[in-house]
Amino acid sequence: MTIPKEGEKIQIHSYKHNGNIHRVWQETTVLKGTRNIVIGANERTLVTESDGRTWVTREPSICYFHAEHWFNIICMLREDGVYYYVNISSPFVYNNKTLKYIDYDLDVKVFPDMGYMILDEDEYELHKKQMNYPEVIDQILHNNLEKLLGWIKQRRGPFASDFIEAWTARYEFYKSVQEEK
């Protein structure tokens, strides 16, 4: 697997378990790229849905992907604080300037005070039947949901305040470099 380079612009592709494309984020700037972790940032990026509809993200976001955890975390930087949207998903793979993962429907919305809501449990149950999620996948996803909830409660990883400060500063640096070009 190739590794994305810092400062590089990549796409993010989300798939469903059946292999169909779910959503594409047109442009994300890589802030950190290793074999296990990709941290990226985007702002006002074009998103294309599987049915062809498009929309543009509203606020700057820091995105955290891990090759060993079955979730990814979007940190949305809003005027009244950082909101998080977590996709329960497969670990990422990266090739051809594209980060890819499988979206497994379950999501967690986390508020600035670290309160959270688990979303789309009904969609998960429906797709689990329709796409025949294996029992082992179901177990992995629920174990990773519990791990994620622990991170939220302990303010670990992207939920730590120093994470947001450090990666927002790095994103501002790359934005200033792009503006100079």
Q: Which residues form the catalytic set?
A: 23
| Rounded CA Rg of the chain | 16
CB 89 within 8 A of CB 71: yes
CB 108 within 8 A of CB 116: yes
First to last CA, the chain: 30
- 162 marked among binding-site residues: no
- 138 marked among binding-site residues: no
DSSP state of 181: -
Instruction: At 79, give phi and psi (nearest 5°).
Output: -60, -35
- 120 marked among binding-site residues: yes
- 165 marked among binding-site residues: no
List, as residue ranges, the binding site for Mg(2+): 87, 103, 105, 107, 120, 123
List, as residue ranges, the binding site: 87, 103, 105, 107, 120, 123
